Structures are given as structure tokens and as C-alpha cells.
């Protein structure tokens, strides 16, 4: 008997798959049903560690399984290759971002290949190559033509450390997502994608995505933030203000039913009326300056103390011509939400109430909670935001909140003082970046013609290679010649746009490019895209739950409407799985440096730094990451234990959506299991029949072997289909254990063992494909196991024919009996009472009652 040696076996089988071109996706002509499985493509930042391998392995299990089930599988890989880290590397090490990126790609491609992934490498793409981004530039122009791209001066989040503009989504608690620096506000001309045009569709279609995790759908829904309510017009009683803003101030409200509780109207600090007044009124100017210091993000505004100023004019209540209401500006009103103006109804809204108390504005409760008397309902410093019955509300008195809302909207519409309205939190997507390592925006600025797109036949607008990174600002801006060009329309000297596109643009359509990655005249072939889309199974980290997935959903809609692709439902990913992380203990040296696991040794439960013998503190068990050095490099791992061990390890022990902890003992357990599995296969006598044998004659122990194998087919299949890989792992363990007990060498047991081992090899092949090939070859299987069909369970072998039923006397377990499944109560009762041990236990007692729960338990009540 031999040991299984992955170091020899793995490269051998990888070569065999390559030689057979096993993973090439065929397309419409295959005559098979298509299946598109995709893992979120990696950023080529350096090397792959065991943590990264989990997500690729999960996708690979699905890809290999679907292939075995007869699908034409598309499982491609590429590189999300633009972005800031490459520029930072360039700055720190004096290398070119492109060189750095392509070197990393070479390393990581090799690592993924050694992991034995069933990828169609003929479709590899890198978003930083001109062959890719030229199409992105054409897409930009198409969206511009459709009015989905626009330019506007905007207050933007400026990251003073990275010297760039950040999207709102990249500001976390007022700090830049990468640099962690305090974000400032600046006014700049910026490019936007009009994602808000699709806000409603993006929100509504979430309901159909039933193969997405609920939490991701909820996160997207909250991000889009659809609110139903009304717009209400308040007539301005001041001629000079009307000159600035027109006749009315329009507010957005979700609670028009509280309209009779109004005590003030408030505008955002940067509302145009406030700006105009601040020019003349120092008190107002002072207030505006103070607001700016308090920060602009929603979180900061939420936390800041309420601040306001009376703007010195009034508006008329929309339901009462005689009622004048003062207009204020308040720091908690966002200029970017609704209409940038509110009406304050303090009894029903905490912010309004805090504000009213501070500035001594009236507080009139108008909503009475259920089962409460008006005299009992006193608002002090806590607003009542719930629903109830309207009171203090004239013609609305006695209506419920719900009916009140409808009634008020009706009255407003009748009087032309408002209408039902919907508001979204989603903002348009700011895509300009003042960065070098990104896709150049294909625009030329001409003094005469304005903004002119670069004609398609002049694409790509390529990045210049001769750039320097000795200054933190945009190298494209500083380049001596690149931005000087001629207007494509009139031919006069003109200026090239120096902003590049947010890298999230590149990842918003790469899955479409994979469907025809070598198409030159179009971003992708429409018929290939229509064939392969949507991605049937997408696998990736939950950190992309909002941005990437939302942008991709926007893109497929925009491209569909632009006629670049025809999809019935323009959803890019019909199934989504968000995987958990691989965690590992972290270690810190005495002087506070993070240490890699390889730099640490353990003695009697304590840890020491190998280099100097000094004590090491073990930190938290955290997600593997370079910053904490708690990573295990994939190549090192593969050299020690093989790719199959890595694949098997990351799927064992923990459900795929949860984290799994990397431990040496866990890995050794995997290694031992692989050897045990191999010897189980290798112990089959050479004379046994092949792995596709069907041991129809089996009886007794041979039949038990068959049953165990067929039960595993059913269990492992269900587990893969349901993304419960750890359960598949457990069932394969069970099958190996069952097979190790079957050592007989009679003809019928040999046949059953051959059949079961052939099943085992095919069941493990999505998980440990190299070991599976080795087993298949050893068992005398024909061809490669990658070309073998998925085994089919024989239904007649799945019925459990007997069940074990415990017998209790007065609630205490005394014995058990094995009975045919589904036995009737009377016969079970008789059998139970006739057991010797039971008869003995019942001596001297009277049986009062026997309760039989069929197939489960027998309870005897005696006394
Ligand atoms: C009057 C009112 C009375 C409100 C009441 C609430 C309770 P969501 O649900 O998030 O959409 N609002 C509207 N525009 C705003 C802005 N630009 N900045 C800050 N607040 C704004 O919130 C909608 C509610 O938030 C609106 O309904 C409005 O206050 C406020 F008892 O109008 B409400
Ligand atoms: Zn021109």
C-alpha cells in the first residue's frame, strides 16, 4: 500500500486537464444547458493566502459539480487591476503601477492554477489593459448619449491624505475608507452616473432576487432608502425671498397627517434662500459658518447638537390661509435629501422636538396613541413617533394615521398645495477620480464646443507610461503633453479630461466581458451575453453587499436600455452567496510588532519569537489579513499539504457563510483524512471490478455498503445544491468510515466495494479534484473523472428499513428495540413488553398505559 503524494499527483492532473482543455466554456453551440458561476474577481495586490482560497474553492465546487451534472459551465477569472494600491506601491518603491500590477497578476495566476481551479483561462481579462478599458470608454460615451452621465459642480468629499475625491460610500464615520483621514468638503466639477434614474427599479426588483441572502437585500433596500410621503407647498410671504426662490417652499414629508401640528418650516444651511440671506445678514452668515465646521456627513449631523437661526420671514400653512408659520434654518436638515426643506411637527419627531424646545417654538400633539385619553398624552421631551388617532387637527380629527395621510394628500392635491411623492436616499454615483491608475474618461474640453466625447474610432484613450509619482497629486494633470490635444469637432487646441473613472466602474460590467472576452468592435457580443447572462451563481464577500452589487445592477439595466445587451430581467446575478472568512490567531512581539505564524513557536502553551526566543502575546483570532500578518501563504501550504488539503480544509467544520478558524491541528486532521481515504481506495484488490460497477446482486453486508454509498449520493448532492459544503464533508467522512469496515473479498462484496468507491471518488471530485482523479485511475476508471457523470442514487436503496426505538418506563430509558419502519402500534407494544429487560423492570408493577410514538419511542406508564 502506498501513501498519497499530492506533490506528484497534483501537477500531473492539472496538466491532464489542460491537455484536454477540460474547462473551456463552449457557448450557444454546446447543445447543453448553460451555467455561469463566478467568484468576485480579485484585486492583484500581491499573493494569495489560504483565506482568499475559500471563496474560489466554493465557486469551484459549484462549477465542477454542475459540469458533472451535464451543464456547459462558464467559470472565468480576471483581475480588478486598477486602483490606488498600485499607485502607492509606485510611490513607495519607484516602480510603475502597471509593472507592479502585472507582476502580481503573474504570481497570483500561478497560485490559483496550483489550487486546481476549474477555470477557463482562455477568457482571462485584466481591467487595466487597454483592450478592456477602451470598451469601458465606449460604454461611458453610450451612457453620456443617453443622458445617464453628467457633469456638475458638487461639494465633494476630499481626502487630504490620498489627495482625492471620495464617493459618499467611501466615507466611513467621516473618514476616508483607505487613509482613515478626516474628510473635508470641497467644490469641484465632477462626473456623475445617474443611478437615481433607476432607484425605483433597483429597489423593487430586490423582491425577485430570491436566491440572494436576505441581509444583502435589506442592506441594498436601506441604501436606496425609498420613502413614501408627500410634497407640500408653503407660500412665501416675502417678496424679496420670492425673487430668490419662487412662490413656494416645498417640503418632503412622510407624515402629512401631522400637518396641523406644524410649528416651523426649516431649510438646510446650504439652501439657496439661506445662502442669499447670509450675504446680507451677519448673524445668518455666522450660523452657516458654524454649521460647516460641524461636518457634513449624515452621522455627524445626527450626533451634533441642534442649531438653528430664524430667517425672519413666514410662510402660509397649506390648509389654512390665515395661519403664518416662521421659517428657520436648522443644521439637521440635509440639503441632499428630499427637497432640502422640512416642516417641523415637534410632537411627532424627536429632532423637531429638540429644536422646538431649544428655540421655544410651539409643540402641539396631534396623534393620540391607542387607548389613551387626550389629557394623559403629554409631550415633554420625548416625541411620540408612532401611529394613532388624529386630534387637534380640525377636519382630520378622529381619523387614523393611515387614513389621515391619504386624506391630507387628497386635500393638498385638490387645492394644488401638494401631492403624493416618493423620496430616495440613493444619490447619483460620483465617478471622477483625480488619479493616474484608472480608466481615462474619454472626454475633450474645447473652449468653443464644450465637452466633446472622444470618437469611438479614436479609442482607447491610453494612459501615458512616462509619469512620475514624486508628488501626491494626479500625474495626468502634471504630465507635460498628455492633456494637450485637439478638439475632435473643430480641430482647435483643446484639453483632455484628466480625471479617471472610479474602479467600481470596471467591476460593474466585467461579468459581461467574460461572455466574449476577445470581441474587439463591441464591449461584448450581444448574443454571447444574452446566452450566458445572468450569472447563475455569484460568490463573494459581504463587504460588497451594497456598492459593487448595486452598481452592477445599475449597469446591466443601463446597458440593456442602451441596446448593448438583451436580458429579459436585467439582473446580473440570479444567485448570490456571501462566504465567511478564514480566521487565524494573531501574534505580537514584545515590542509591539505583528508576527507571522511562521515566526512563532509554541512551548507548553506559551508562544515565543523564533528569531530571539522572546515571549510573544497571542492576540485575537481574526480574519486572515496582511496587516496583522496572520496569514498562511497558499504556496507554502500547497507545498506542505497539497491543494486538495487547502480546498477540503476551508470547507470543513463550519458552514460556508460563517467564519472558519485555521489551526494546525485542523490541517493535520485533513491530511490524515486524505491518507485514510486513499488507503481505503488503495486496499481494494486489483481483481475487483471497475468503479462504474452496479452490484445488483448485493445482500447482507454488501448491501449495507451499497446503501451507505447511495445515501451519500443523495446527501452530498443536496448539500452542494444548498450551499452546505460542511455537511457534504461530514457525509463523505461517514462514507469513508463505512467503507473501511467493509473489508471482505467475496465476489459480491468486492463488487459493492468497487461501486461504492467509484461513487466516493465522484462525490469528492468537486472538493478534492486531484485526489479524485488519482482514485479513479487506481480503481480502473475510464478516462478522467472530470468527464465522468455525477452519480445517481438508486431510490430503492435509500429507504431505511428498520428503526431503533428506545423504551422508557415512567420516563426513564430502560431498553431499545429494532423494528421494521412504519410498524403498527400494537405490534410495537407487544414486542416492547416481551423484552426480557423490560419484563424484569416491570416486575411487581401494573402497566397502566403504553404510549407508542411510531418510529420514535415507546413510553410505558406503570405503578
Ligand atoms: C414632517 C414630519 C412629522 C416628519 C413627523 C416626520 C415625523 P425618511 O423616513 O427618512 O424619508 N425630512 C425630510 N427631508 C429632510 C431633509 N432634507 N433633512 C432632514 N430631514 C428631512 O424621513 C422623512 C422625514 O424626515 C420627513 O417627514 C421630514 O420630517 C424629514 F411627526 O415631515 B417629516
Ligand atoms: Zn471644438
Divide the 863 residues of the chain into consecutive groups of 10 and give the mean pLDDT of each group.
Answer: 92 98 96 98 92 95 98 98 90 91 97 98 98 98 97 86 74 82 87 97 97 97 96 98 97 97 97 96 96 77 92 98 98 93 97 97 97 94 96 97 97 97 95 93 98 97 92 84 97 97 97 97 96 97 92 98 92 96 90 90 90 90 86 92 96 91 93 98 94 93 95 97 96 96 91 98 98 98 97 90 89 89 87 90 92 93 92
Strands (E), 425-468: 429-430, 432-433, 439-440, 443-446, 450-453
Q: How many helices (H) and strands (E) does the chain have?
A: 27, 38
DSSP reduced 3-state for 61: helix
Give the orientation angle of helix 643-651 with respect to helix 725-741, to 10 degrees: 110
DSSP reduced 3-state for 368: strand
Cα separation, 434 vs 165, in Å, equals 7
Cα separation, 270 vs 285, in Å, equals 11
Count the Cβ atoms, other than its own, within 10 Å of residue 739.
Answer: 23
- The ligand whose atoms approach the alpha carbon of 492 most closely is 2
Provide the grid cell at 242.
Answer: 420670492
Cα separation, 357 vs 351, in Å, equals 10
Query: How far does the centroid of ligand 1 lie from the alpha carbon of residue 650, in Å?
Result: 47
Contact yes or no for 28/65 (Cβ under 8 A):
no
Beta bridge partners of 282: none
- The ligand whose atoms approach the alpha carbon of 445 most closely is 2
What pLDDT was estimated at residue 298?
A: 75
Torsion angle of the four alpha carbons 377, 380, 385, 388, in this order, in degrees rounded to the nearest 10: 10
What pLDDT was estimated at residue 646?
A: 96
List, as ranges, residues with CB under 5 A of the ion ligand 2.
446, 448-449, 487, 489-490
What pLDDT was estimated at residue 822?
A: 82
Residues 390, 393, 394, 396, CA torsion sign: negative
* Terminal CA-CA length for the chain: 61
Query: How far does the centroid of ligand 2 lie from the alpha carbon of residue 563, in Å?
Result: 29
Minimum CA distance residue for ligand 1 atom 32: 253
What pLDDT was estimated at residue 801?
A: 73
Contact yes or no for 297/156 (Cβ under 8 A):
no
Provide the grid cell at 612.
Answer: 530571539
Count the Cβ atoms, other than its own, within 10 Å of residue 403.
Answer: 14
Contact yes or no for 437/97 (Cβ under 8 A):
yes
Contact yes or no for 602/567 (Cβ under 8 A):
no
Count the Cβ atoms, other than its own, within 10 Å of residue 513.
Answer: 23
Contact yes or no for 835/848 (Cβ under 8 A):
no
* Kind of pairing between the strands at 264-267 and 341-344: antiparallel
Minimum CA distance residue for ligand 1 atom 14: 338
What pLDDT was estimated at residue 295?
A: 72
Could you report the per-residue pLDDT of 300-347, keeping only the tens digit for each? 788 889 999 999 999 999 999 999 999 999 999 999 899 999 999 999
* Kind of pairing between the strands at 500-501 and 439-440: antiparallel
Q: How crowded is the C-beta side of 721, counted as CA atoms within 13 Å?
A: 7
Cα separation, 610 vs 454, in Å, equals 59
Q: How crowded is the C-beta side of 66, counted as CA atoms within 13 Å?
A: 25
Using only the alpha carbons of the chain, give its radius of gyration.
Answer: 34
Q: How crowded is the C-beta side of 468, counted as CA atoms within 13 Å?
A: 5
- Out of 229, 339, 342, give the residue to mutate to test ligand 1, the one with the largest number of ligand atoms within 8 Å of its CB: 342
Cα separation, 208 vs 473, in Å, equals 44
Provide the grid cell at 810.
Answer: 415512567
Contact yes or no for 716/61 (Cβ under 8 A):
no
Beta bridge partners of 443: 453
Cα separation, 756 vs 769, in Å, equals 18
- Out of 233, 252, 266, give the residue to mutate to test ligand 1, the one with the largest number of ligand atoms within 8 Å of its CB: 252
- The ligand whose atoms approach the alpha carbon of 250 most closely is 1
Minimum CA distance residue for ligand 1 atom 28: 253
Cα separation, 600 vs 293, in Å, equals 48
Cα separation, 258 vs 661, in Å, equals 53
- Out of 255, 318, 386, 427, give the residue to mutate to test ligand 1, the one with the largest number of ligand atoms within 8 Å of its CB: 255
Cα separation, 257 vs 365, in Å, equals 12
Minimum CA distance residue for ligand 1 atom 33: 253
- The ligand whose atoms approach the alpha carbon of 495 most closely is 2
Provide the grid cell at 660.
Answer: 472558519
Cα separation, 556 vs 676, in Å, equals 48
* Kind of pairing between the strands at 78-79 and 184-193: unpaired
- Ligand 1 residue neighbourhood (C-beta within 6 Å): 227, 252-255, 258, 332-334, 337-338, 340, 342-343, 345, 348-349, 423
Query: How far does the centroid of ligand 1 lie from the alpha carbon of residue 349, in Å?
Result: 8
Minimum CA distance residue for ligand 1 atom 2: 255
Q: Which helix (H) or strand (E) holds 750?
A: helix 747-764
**Nearest alpha-carbon partner for 460 in 496, 431, 424:** 496
Q: Which helix (H) or strand (E) holds 88?
A: helix 84-93
DSSP, res 279:
H
Count the Cβ atoms, other than its own, within 10 Å of residue 855.
Answer: 16
Cα separation, 581 vs 58, in Å, equals 12
Provide the grid cell at 196.
Answer: 437615481
- Out of 254, 291, 298, 317, give the residue to mutate to test ligand 1, the one with the largest number of ligand atoms within 8 Å of its CB: 254
- The ligand whose atoms approach the alpha carbon of 331 most closely is 1
**Nearest alpha-carbon partner for 63 in 28, 39, 32:** 39
Provide the grid cell at 97.
Answer: 503601477
Minimum CA distance residue for ligand 1 atom 26: 253
Query: How far does the centroid of ligand 1 lie from the alpha carbon of residue 393, in Å?
Result: 19
Query: How far does the centroid of ligand 2 lie from the alpha carbon of residue 194, in Å?
Result: 26
Query: Is the overall model pTM greater than 0.75, yes or no?
Result: yes
Amino acid at each position: 500500500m502506498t501513501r498519497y503524494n499530492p506533490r506528484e499527483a497534483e501537477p500531473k492532473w492539472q496538466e491532464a486537464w489542460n491537455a484536454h482543455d477540460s474547462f473551456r466554456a463552449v457557448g450557444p453551440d454546446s447543445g447543453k444547458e448553460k451555467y455561469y458561476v463566478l467568484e468576485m474577481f480579485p484585486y492583484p495586490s500581491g499573493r494569495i493566502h489560504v483565506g482568499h482560497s475559500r471563496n474560489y474553492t466554493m465557486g469551484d465546487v459549484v462549477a465542477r459539480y454542475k459540469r458533472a451534472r451535464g451543464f456547459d459551465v462558464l467559470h472565468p477569472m480576471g483581475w480588478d487591476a486598477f486602483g490606488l494600491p498600485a499607485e502607492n506601491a509606485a510611490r513607495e518603491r519607484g516602480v510603475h503601477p502597471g509593472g507592479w500590477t502585472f507582476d502580481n497578476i503573474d504570481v497570483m495566476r500561478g497560485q490559483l492554477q496550483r489550487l486546481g481551479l476549474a477555470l477557463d483561462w482562455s477568457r482571462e481579462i485584466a481591467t487595466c489593459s487597454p483592450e478592456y478599458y477602451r470598451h469601458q470608454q465606449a460604454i461611458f460615451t453610450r451612457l453620456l448619449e443617453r443622458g445617464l452621465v453628467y457633469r456638475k459642480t458638487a461639494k465633494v468629499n476630499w481626502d487630504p491624505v490620498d489627495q482625492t475625491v471620495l464617493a459618499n460610500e467611501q466615507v466611513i464615520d467621516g473618514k476616508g475608507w483607505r487613509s482613515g483621514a478626516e474628510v473635508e468638503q470641497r467644490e469641484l466639477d465632477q462626473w456623475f452616473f445617474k443611478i437615481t434614474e433607476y432607484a425605483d427599479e433597483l429597489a423593487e426588483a430586490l423582491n425577485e432576487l430570491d436566491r440572494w441572502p436576505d441581509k444583502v437585500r435589506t442592506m441594498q433596500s436601506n441604501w436606496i432608502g425609498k420613502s413614501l410621503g408627500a410634497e407640500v407647498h408653503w407660500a412665501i410671504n416675502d417678496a424679496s425671498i420670492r425673487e430668490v426662490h419662487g412662490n413656494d417652499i416645498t417640503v418632503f414629508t412622510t407624515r402629512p397627517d401631522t400637518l396641523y401640528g406644524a410649528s416651523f418650516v426649516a431649510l438646510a444651511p446650504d439652501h439657496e434662500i439661506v445662502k442669499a440671506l447670509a450675504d446680507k445678514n451677519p448673524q445668518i452668515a455666522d450660523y452657516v459658518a458654524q454649521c460647516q465646521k460641524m461636518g457634513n456627513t449624515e452621522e455627524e449631523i445626527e450626533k451634533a447638537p441642534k442649531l438653528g437661526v430664524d430667517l425672519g420671514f413666514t410662510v402660509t400653512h397649506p390648509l389654512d390661509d390665515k395661519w403664518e408659520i416662521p421659517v428657520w434654518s436648522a443644521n439637521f436638515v440635509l440639503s441632499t435629501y428630499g427637497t432640502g426643506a422640512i416642516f417641523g411637527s415637534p410632537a411627532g419627531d424627536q429632532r423637531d422636538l429638540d429644536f422646538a424646545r431649544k428655540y421655544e417654538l410651539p409643540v402641539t400633539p396631534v396623534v393620540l396613541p391607542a387607548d389613551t385619553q387626550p389629557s394623559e398624552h403629554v409631550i415633554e421631551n420625548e416625541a411620540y413617533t408612532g401611529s394613532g388617532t388624529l386630534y387637534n387637527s380640525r377636519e382630520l380629527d378622529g381619523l387614523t394615521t393611515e387614513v389621515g395621510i391619504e386624506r391630507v394628500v387628497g386635500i393638498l392635491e385638490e387645492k394644488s398645495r401638494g401631492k403624493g411623492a416618493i423620496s430616495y436616499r440613493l444619490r447619483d454615483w460620483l465617478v471622477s477620480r483625480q488619479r493616474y491608475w484608472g480608466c481615462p474618461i474619454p472626454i475633450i474640453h474645447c473652449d468653443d464646443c464644450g465637452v466633446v466625447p472622444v470618437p469611438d474610432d479614436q479609442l482607447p484613450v491610453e494612459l501615458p507610461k512616462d509619469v512620475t509619482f514624486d508628488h501626491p497629486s494626479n500625474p495626468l494633470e502634471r504630465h507635460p503633453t498628455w492633456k494637450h490635444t485637439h478638439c475632435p469637432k473643430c480641430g482647435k487646441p483643446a484639453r483632455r479630461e484628466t480625471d479617471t473613472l472610479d474602479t467600481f466602474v470596471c467591476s460593474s460590467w466585467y461579468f459581461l466581458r467574460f461572455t466574449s472576452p476577445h470581441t474587439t468592435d463591441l464591449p461584448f457580443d450581444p448574443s454571447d451575453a444574452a446566452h450566458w447572462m445572468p450569472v447563475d451563481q455569484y460568490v463573494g464577500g459581504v463587504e460588497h453587499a451594497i456598492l459593487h452589487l448595486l452598481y452592477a445592477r445599475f449597469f446591466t439595466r443601463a446597458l440593456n436600455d442602451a441596446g448593448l445587451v438583451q436580458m429579459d430581467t436585467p439582473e446580473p446575478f440570479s444567485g448570490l452567496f456571501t462566504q465567511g472568512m478564514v480566521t487565524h490567531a494573531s501574534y505580537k512581539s514584545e515590542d509591539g510588532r505583528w508576527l507571522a505564524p511562521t515566526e512563532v513557536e509554541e512551548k507548553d502553551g506559551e508562544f515565543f519569537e523564533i528569531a530571539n526566543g522572546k515571549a510573544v502575546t497571542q492576540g485575537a483570532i481574526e480574519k486572515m489579513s496582511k496587516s496583522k500578518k496572520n496569514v498562511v501563504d497558499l504556496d507554502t501550504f500547497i507545498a506542505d499539504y497539497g491543494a486538495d488539503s487547502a480546498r477540503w480544509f476551508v470547507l470543513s467544520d463550519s458552514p460556508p457563510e460563517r467564519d472558519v478558524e485555521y489551526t494546525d491541528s485542523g490541517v493535520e486532521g485533513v491530511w490524515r483524512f486524505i491518507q485514510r481515504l486513499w488507503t481505503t481506495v488503495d486496499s481494494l484488490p486489483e481483481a475487483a471490478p471497475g468503479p462504474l460497477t452496479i452490484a445488483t446482486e448485493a445482500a447482507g453486508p454488501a448491501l449495507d455498503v451499497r446503501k451507505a454509498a447511495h445515501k451519500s449520493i443523495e446527501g452530498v448532492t443536496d448539500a452542494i445544491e444548498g450551499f452546505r459544503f460542511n455537511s457534504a464533508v461530514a457525509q463523505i467522512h461517514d462514507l469513508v468510515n463505512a467503507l473501511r469496515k467493509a473489508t471482505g473479498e467475496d465476489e459480491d462484496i468486492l463488487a459493492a466495494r468497487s461501486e461504492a468507491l467509484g461513487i466516493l471518488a465522484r462525490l469528492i471530485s468537486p472538493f478534492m479534484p486531484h485526489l479524485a482523479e488519482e482514485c479513479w485511475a487506481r480503481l480502473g476508471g475510464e478516462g478522467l473523472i472530470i468527464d465522468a457523470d455525477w452519480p445517481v442514487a438508486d431510490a430503492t436503496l435509500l429507504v431505511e428499513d428498520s428503526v431503533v426505538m428506545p423504551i422508557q418506563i415512567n420516563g426513564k430509558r430502560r431498553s431499545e428495540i429494532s423494528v421494521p419502519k412504519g410498524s403498527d402500534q400494537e405490534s410495537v407494544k407487544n414486542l416492547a413488553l416481551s423484552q426480557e429487560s423490560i419484563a424484569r423492570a416491570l416486575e411487581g408493577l401494573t402497566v397502566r398505559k403504553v404510549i407508542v410514538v411510531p418510529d420514535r419511542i415507546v413510553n410505558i406508564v406503570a405503578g
